[in-house]
Amino acid sequence: MTRLFLAWVVVTFLFAGFDLSAAQNPADIFAAGQAALAKGDLNAAESAFRSVLKIQPDSLPARANLGVVYMRRKNWTRALAEFQVAEKQAPGNAGLELNIGLVHFHRGEFAAAITPFQSVIANHPDSLQARYLLGLCYFATEKYQPATDELKPLWEAENGELPYLYVLALCANKSSDASLEKQALDRLFEVGHGSAEYHLFMGRAWLMRQRDQEAAEELRKAAQMDPKLPFVHYSLGMIAVGQGDYAQAKAEFTKDLAVEPGLSFDYEEIGAACLKLDQPGEAEQAFRHAIQLDTSAASAYLGLAKIYNASGRYAQALVNLNRVEKLDDQSASVHYLKAQSLTHLNRRAEAKAEFEVSARLRRSTRDRLEEQVSARPAVDAQMGLQH
């Protein structure tokens, strides 16, 4: 069943109350749009749904399915806009809420996806899809016990699916539930032993434990068995980063993009590798791609700020640092860079305050934005959805 979580929900409504005697029958146009959508003809589907909206501007089915068209194109911003318009007309509709949650998920906005999925479950407690996705969102936001609480009841339906077993084992580990972790890992071995996906998940598990040699062995096996398996080269890239081999890291992240285009993680890491390789132009381009895909990509904004500070574009650097601070206000490096930018802009009093905040944070917290974290929960949550 897990593979179905990649699908979007085609939202259907009745055309009750519509005047179907018009010269152009909106019901017929809508039906043609649905047929085109089913065939994958997104241009024809979009044209049909827009035609319906010209005749019936408040058409919920046309608006909702137009959002589905944009989802299939991975245009998450436009998809979300359409679903939100439809949601105002039909608050609490399970199909709309599920799609809104999925859009947030794909944009890396896991915290924002929680409420829509909760809404679906509140009205449909038996929705395994919404519960699984909610569990992934809790995991991605490092709420491991709630994640475990949502995922554990899905065992009977999902224990034959490797992504579910993998994420459940990680959640159980983080929740100090050794028995559940063993149960999930044993079943993972039983179901997947010898498959490319199994080696990928084991490689990720070793990577989380900072056992890079074992991780690389598993990941290379996965790559040999299935060269087009997403996240394999991303994970190999993170190992190369840990070894200081940034050219190899960049190559691996680029390979992963070729397999699974549109993942902000790859662009973020390519940008970071390019900075290490003194390739600021390529780094800037990669960070901008990451932000287009995920507006909450804090490390991408930080990367841009470093580039702008280094090239004397202090006002632009400050704009990006302010964006980072809204996402993570506990980063000493962000406040330090802000202080530098403000100093160059002759805003001395503000710079002094930022230097003080930076010094305080360095004494009291670890700077997560400056860490190369090879086992980001958000990556594994995406893996849970992708496979």
User: Residues 124, 173: one domain?
Assistant: no
Which pLDDT does position 51 carry in this prediction?
93
Q: Give, to the nearest 10 degrees, the angle between helix 232-242 and helix 246-259.
A: 170
* Domain shared by 30 and 54, yes or no: yes
Q: Classify residue 82: in a domain, yes or no.
A: yes
Domain that holds residue 34: 1-137
Helix, strand, or coil here: 131?
Answer: helix
Same domain, 186 and 67: no
Q: Assign residue 51 the CATH number of its domain.
A: 1.25.40.10
Q: Is residue 202 part of a domain?
A: no
Given the structure tokens 């919920």, which residue do they identify?
A: 60
Has residue 361 been placed in a domain?
no
pLDDT at site 158: 92
Q: What whole-number distance in Å separates Cα of residue 2 and Cα of residue 222?
A: 20
Residue at which a domain ends, from 112, 137, 162: 137
Could you tell me if 270 and 253 are in contact, meaning their C-beta atoms sit under 8 angstroms apart?
Answer: yes
Q: Is residue 325 part of a domain?
A: no
Alpha carbon distance 5, 83 (integer Å): 18
Pair 1, 129 in one domain: yes
* Pair (150, 130) in one structural domain: no
Q: Are 238 and 374 in contact (CB under 8 A)?
A: yes
Instruction: State in Å, rounded, how far the first CA of the chain is from the last one.
Output: 11
| Residue 360: count of CB within 10 angstroms of its CB | 12
pLDDT of res. 295: 80
Q: Which of 44, 19, 22 is nearest to 33 (CA)?
A: 44
39 occurs within a structural domain: yes
Residue count of the chain, please give it.
387
Residue 281 covered by a domain: no
Instruction: Name the pTM for this structure.
Output: 0.78
- Same domain for 27 and 147? no
55 and 101 share a domain? Answer: yes
Task: Give the three-class secondary structure for 210.
Answer: coil
Q: Torsions phi, psi of 260, nearest 5?
A: -135, 80
Query: What tens-digit pLDDT sequence spans the chain (387 residues)?
Result: 443 344 455 555 444 334 434 446 888 999 999 999 999 999 999 999 999 999 999 999 999 999 999 999 888 889 999 999 999 999 989 999 999 999 999 888 899 999 999 999 999 999 999 999 999 999 998 899 999 999 999 999 999 999 999 999 999 989 999 999 999 999 999 999 889 999 999 998 888 778 899 999 999 999 999 988 989 999 999 999 999 999 999 999 999 999 988 788 899 999 999 999 999 999 999 999 999 888 878 889 999 999 999 999 999 999 999 998 888 788 888 899 999 999 999 999 999 998 888 888 887 655 555 544 334 677 777 777 764
SS3 330: coil
Same domain membership, residue 183 and residue 91: no
User: Burial of 254 by CB count in 10 Å (0-12 exposed, 13-18 middle, 19+ buried)?
Assistant: middle
pLDDT at 381: 77
- Helices 76-89 and 60-72, interaxial angle, to 10°? 160
Whole-angstrom Cα distance, residue 231 to residue 236? 9
Q: What pLDDT shows up at residue 326?
A: 87
Report yes or no on 358 lying in a domain: no
DSSP 195: S
Q: CA-to-CA distance for 219 and 208, rounded, in angstroms?
A: 13
Token code pair at residue 260: 């699974």
Domain shared by 81 and 7, yes or no: yes
Instruction: Please report, as a single letter, which amino acid is at residue 42.
Output: L
Q: Are residues 15 and 32 in the same domain?
A: yes
Same-domain pairing of 91 and 177: no
- Asked if the structure places residue 6 within a domain, the reply is yes
Q: And the tokens for 181?
A: 């972790």
Shared domain check, 118 and 68: yes
8 A C-beta contact, residue 267 and residue 287? yes
pLDDT value at residue 372: 40
**Residue 370, pLDDT score:** 52
Domain count across the chain: 2
